[in-house]
Structure 1
Amino acid sequence: MSETSFFARGAGLDAGGISSLTGAELGEGTDPATAVTGIGPLDRAGPSELSFFDSPRYSDQLSTTRAGLILIAPKHLALLPAGRPHLIAANVQAAFAAVGRSLFPQALVPASITGLEGVSPRAEVDPAADIEPGVTIEAFAVVGRGARIGRGTIVAPGAVIGPGCTVGRDCRIGPHVSLSNALLGNRVVLHPGVKVGQDGFGYAPGPGGLEKVVQVGRVIIQDDVEIGANSTIDRGAIRDTVIGEGTKIDNQVQIGHNVAVGWHCVIVAQVGISGSTTIGDGVMIGGQVGINGHVTIGDGAQIAAASAVAVDMPPKSRWGGIPARPMREWIRETRFLIELAKKGRSPRNGRDD
Structure 2
Amino acid sequence: MDALKFFRRAVEPSLADIVAWTGAKAPEGADLAMKIVDVAPLDKARSGDLAFLDNPKYVGQLEKTRASAVLIGAKHADKTPAGVIPLVVGEPYRACALVSAKIYPEATRPGSLFDGAGVEPGANVHQTARLESGVTVDPGAVIGPRAEIGAGTVIHPNAVIGPDVRIGRNCVIGANSSVLNALIGDDVIIHPGVRIGQDGFGFAMSPRGHLKVPQIGRVIIQDHVEIGANTTIDRGANRDTLIGEGAKIDNLVQIAHNVSIGRHCVIVSQVGISGSTEISDFVVVAGQAGITGHLKIGMGAQIGAQAGVMADVPPGAKMGGSPARNAREWLKSVAWVDNMMKKGHGEPKA
Smaller-chain TM-score range?
over 0.9
Structure 2 counterpart of 1:341 = 341
Counterparts of 1:149 and 1:197, CA distance in 2: 17
Q: What is the correspondence of 1:165-314 to structure 2 with a 5 Å cutoff?
A: 165-314=165-314
Which residue of structure 2 aligns with residue 9 of structure 1?
Answer: 9
> When the two structures are superposed, what TM-score results if normalisation uses the length of structure 1?
0.94
Please list every run of 5 or more consecutive structure 1 residues that lacks an aligned counterpart in the other structure. none
Cα contact 1:15–1:33 (8 A) shared by 2: yes
Aligned-partner Cα distance in 1 for 2:261–2:118: 34
Q: Are residue 71 (structure 1) and residue 61 (structure 2) matched? A: no
Q: Secondary structure at the match of 2:246?
A: coil
Question: What corresponds to 1:315 in structure 2?
Answer: 315
Q: In structure 2, what residue type is equivalent to 1:200?
A: G
User: Which sections of structure 2, spanning at least 5 residues, go unmatched?
Assistant: none
The question of whether the paired residues in 2 share the 8 Å contact of 1:308 and 1:324 is answered with yes
8 A Cα contact 2:243 2:262, kept in partner: yes
What amino acid sits opposite 2:146 in the alignment? G
Q: Measure the CA separation in 2 of the matches of 1:276 and 1:224.
A: 23
1:38 equivalent to 2:34? Answer no
- Give the Cα separation in 2 of the matches to 1:11 and 1:128: 42
How far is the alpha carbon of 1:344 from its aligned partner? 2.1
Structure 1 residue 100 corresponds to structure 2 residue 91: no
Q: Measure, in 2, the Cα distance between the counterparts of 1:135 and 1:198.
A: 25
Describe the superposition over 1:111-146 as per-residue Cα deviations: whole angstroms up to 9, x where unpaired: 100011111231111111111111111111001111
- How much is the aligned-residue C-alpha RMSD, in angstroms? 1.9
Q: Deviations over 1:173-228 (max 9, x none)?
A: 11011011111011111000000000011222335422212111110101111101
TM-score when normalising by structure 2: 0.95
Q: Distance in 2 between matches of 1:59 and 1:314?
A: 37
Output the CA distance in 2 between the equivalents of 1:338 and 1:280: 35
Amino acid at match of 2:59: S
Kindly tell me the number of residue pairs found equivalent between the two proteins: 350
Structure 2 distance, partners of 1:27, 1:312, is 50
Report the CA distance between 1:28 and its aligned residue: 5.5
The secondary structure found in structure 1 opposite 2:204 is strand
Aligned partners of 2:141, 2:152: CA distance in 1, in Å? 16
The equivalent of 1:21 in structure 2 is 21
1:233 Cα offset (Å):
0.1
| Aligned 1:40-189 pairs, distance under 5 A | 40-189=40-189
CA shift, 1:107, in A, is: 1.2
Deviations 1:25-83 (A, max 9, x none): 11355322222121111111221211112334323322322212111212123432233
1:146 & 1:163 partners in 2: Cα distance? 6
Q: Could you list the per-position Cα deviations for residues 265-294 of structure 1 after superposition, in whole angstroms to 9, with x for gaps in the alignment?
A: 111111100000000011111111100001
